[in-house]
Structure 1
């Protein structure tokens, strides 16, 4: 086994067990047995079960944050930038559907410092996303009769609801769903006569 794959093996095992039997009902011993490693090997990368749950989400959030920064850095018009950001967060959320489901089902069990770290990093992502909406409002593209926070919360509510209904075996691909939800959101926030 390559040393660099140990962390991946442990995380994969933890994800499977957390999904199947719940975070609270999974022991570190079960994780290392499923991963085929020793506790010492696991503790080289993760100090606790808490670290495992955090790391499962960290991979997803880090990827989404990197993607958003890349999209913004292109310097395209705000409407194109926001559209690309919406599509990306939906597609990556579908790619990490199991990770997101496991994490949000168990996030309340994380230690307080870990919860604070998650909140800080999610807020940073949302702030960047919200700044795009704000810029579009300043350019007259998006409605201003509804608070920005409500507009953004509406979009991310759809994203967070994905695990309850989306299936990779369903009739629509992640690309189709991402395009459809993005279109619904952007049509809903578009400025129109008489509504700001």
Structure 2
């Protein structure tokens, strides 16, 4: 369903002295706010910090947002929207449900590793928002988590995942364990995002697949 992405409280007026196009300035505002929230935390950050980093007056921010909470909402919404697009695209590609689950986990991990700052802000500061605004971001049934949950359920229907696995618990486990990469992944570390994604995806699939499905996967690799 299409959504109105104009930020809460954002005015159509032109900011006096504004040189950059509004959409470019808005994107810069989100980027700078994300970095400041990452460095100082939501509670420790101020709109003045963000305005100073942008080289603009604090009052000019109110042409874009009404409050610091509005800005956090927009930052976290953007992070969620981008990540959700990544996993939905991966889940919709060809293959059986286990293959798509594996591909989706890899895509999620690689995206998180390449977007450490936004991922950290999302995971650290989501709870700073009121419940209603959190729900507005996550969607009914927690849509992001639902991508993983639904793939496990589909694998069960096809006889590829064990019937004793609870798809909801599996989805929570997969998303919780893969989200944690933001705490320990280092761009200059010994493993690339792709290598980490492959390993985490393989462990998750082995945790839900039937013995026959695993044997078939091994045979396909060896063929």
Structure 1 residues 7, 121: closer, same or farther in 2, change over 3 A?
A: farther
Does the aligned pair in 2 maintain the 1:29–1:39 contact within 8 Å? yes
Equivalent residue, structure 2, for 1:61:
80
Equivalent residue, structure 1, for 2:130:
111
Determine the C-alpha separation between the residues in 1 that align with 2:103 and 2:160. 16
Q: Which has the larger radius of gyration?
A: 2
Aligned: 1:192 with 2:211 = yes
Matches within 5 A, 1:118-157: 118-120=137-139, 123-157=142-176
Determine the C-alpha separation between the residues in 2 that align with 1:74 and 1:107. 30
State the aligned residue count: 193
Gaps of 5+ in 1: none
Structure 1 residues 175, 191: closer, same or farther in 2, change over 3 A?
A: same
Does the aligned pair in 1 maintain the 2:138–2:144 contact within 8 Å? no
CA shift for structure 1 position 41: 4.1
Does the aligned pair in 2 maintain the 1:130–1:152 contact within 8 Å? yes
Match of 2:197 among 173, 178, 188: 178
Determine the C-alpha separation between the residues in 2 that align with 1:122 and 1:8. 29
Equivalent residue, structure 2, for 1:74:
93
After TM superposition, the score normalised by the length of structure 1 is 0.87
Residues 62-99 of structure 1, C-alpha deviations (whole Å, 9 max, x = no match): 12222333334434322222121111111112222211
Does the aligned pair in 2 maintain the 1:6–1:37 contact within 8 Å? no
Does the aligned pair in 2 maintain the 1:18–1:102 contact within 8 Å? yes
Aligned Cα root-mean-square deviation (Å): 2.1
Determine the C-alpha separation between the residues in 2 that align with 1:106 and 1:9. 20
Equivalent residue, structure 1, for 2:181:
162
Gaps of 5+ in 2: 1-18, 213-223
**3-state SS of paired residue (2:159):** coil
Determine the C-alpha separation between the residues in 1 that align with 2:185 and 2:193. 9
Match of 1:26 among 37, 41, 45: 45
Structure 1 residues 170, 190: closer, same or farther in 2, change over 3 A?
A: same
Determine the C-alpha separation between the residues in 2 that align with 1:174 and 1:121. 30
